[in-house]
Amino acid sequence: MVNLSVQLAPSHPKGLLLANPVMTASGTFGYGIEYSELIDIQRLGAIVCKGTTLKSREGNPQPRLVETASGILNSIGLENIGVEAVIREKAPIWAKWEVPVIANIAGETIDEYKEVALRLESTPGISGIEVNISCPNVASGGMEFGTNPKSAAEVTKVVKSASSLPVLIKLSPNVTDIREIASAVCEAGADAITLVNTLRGMAIDINRYQPSLGNTVGGLSGPAIKPIALYMVYKVAGIVNVPIIGCGSINCAEDALEFLMAGASAVQVGTANLTSPQAALDVLDGIEQFMKKENMKDLKAIVGKARG
């Protein structure tokens, strides 16, 4: 037997104990309910739901997804059903699941983040909150908060004071020095950090003489961003004391192991879910096989192993 469990909020009174380190990334796994018909979602470490805002949002104009040489650009623009519908329609289903569900939240103002966190308070079926301060394709809010240490800390403080749940802060890679933002949110009370959201990018449709995305700008995910995400995890792991959740083109167990060895305590599978619903479970099985092959009994033996 190998121990794959991981505590993502060790200093929080409620804690956030995962049976294993493999989570699904926000926006790539719907509300989990869609995928529950395709795979055994209860085997996952945790599910992070689509970004949720105070009011429902229609998102950005089409086209909103474009393939690039090694990844995709998306400009969904946080289309979602809004927090009240999540509480009414999704959370009662999550409450019956064994797998913890983490609500990913976003807002255009700091007050909106607070309000969403307050509404989720005491909702059965939600085990934690992941705060998206890193969305690169909305007109206001989102990434603006995550690229400035002061506002990143402010959002963290506000959500922490509004919620009795563990709070994960999801950072943007679109910054000069990720360590500044990571330190700021940790000082403000983040229980864990998710690294990273998408990188800002664009593509041009030369036949239409126009940007390919309806929103012009989008977020790049997939294989192109893995080395950058990995580097950011490595850098931040050297300076913070809270668990880090690595995210950025984790397609197979080898990718996940790289992030764990760089210092991540858990990983999120994102774009890979769009090509294979089984991707996250394959990552999980591969980690377990690696540990058995290496005769490792506990996942903790891998975390940070490449840090020297």
Ligand X SMILES: Cc1cc2nc3c(=O)[nH]c(=O)nc-3n(C[C@H](O)[C@H](O)[C@H](O)COP(=O)(O)O)c2cc1C
53 binds ligand X (CB under 6 A): no
Residue 299 C-beta: closest distance to ligand X, Å: 20
CB of 144 to ligand X, least distance (A): 14
Task: Quote the least distance from Cβ 256 to ligand X, whole Å.
Answer: 11
Residue placing its CB nearer to ligand X in the complex, 2 or 76: 76
C-alpha span between 64 and 193 (Å, rounded):
27
Based on the shown chain and the rule CB under 6 A, indicate whether residue 6 belongs to the binding site for ligand X.
no
What residue has token string 């096989």?
289
What part of residues 260-289 is at the interface with ligand X (CB under 6 A)? 270-271
Task: Say whether residue 201 binds ligand X (CB under 6 A).
Answer: no
Residue nearest ligand X, Cβ-based: 27
| For ligand X, the closer CB: 141 or 248 | 248
Q: Return d(Cα 265, Cα 260) in angstroms, integer.
A: 6
Residue among 186, 247, 267, 303 that touches ligand X (CB under 6 A):
247
Q: Hey, which residues between 207 and 246 contact ligand X (CB under 6 A)?
A: 221-222, 225
Residues in the chain, total: 308
List 51, 128, 141, 149, residue binding ligand X (CB under 6 A): 51
The answer to the question of residue 147 lying near ligand X (CB under 6 A) is no
Q: Is 49 a catalytic residue?
A: no
> 62 to 91, contacts with ligand X by CB under 6 A?
72, 74, 76, 78
Query: Is residue 156 a contact residue for ligand X (CB under 6 A)?
Result: no
Among candidate residues 49, 135, 186, 247, the one labeled active-site is 135
Cβ distance to ligand X smaller for residue 100 or 270: 270
Question: What residues are labeled active site?
Answer: 135
Q: Which residues contact ligand X by CB under 6 A?
A: 25-28, 50-51, 72, 74, 76, 78, 104, 132, 170, 197-198, 221-222, 225, 247-250, 270-271
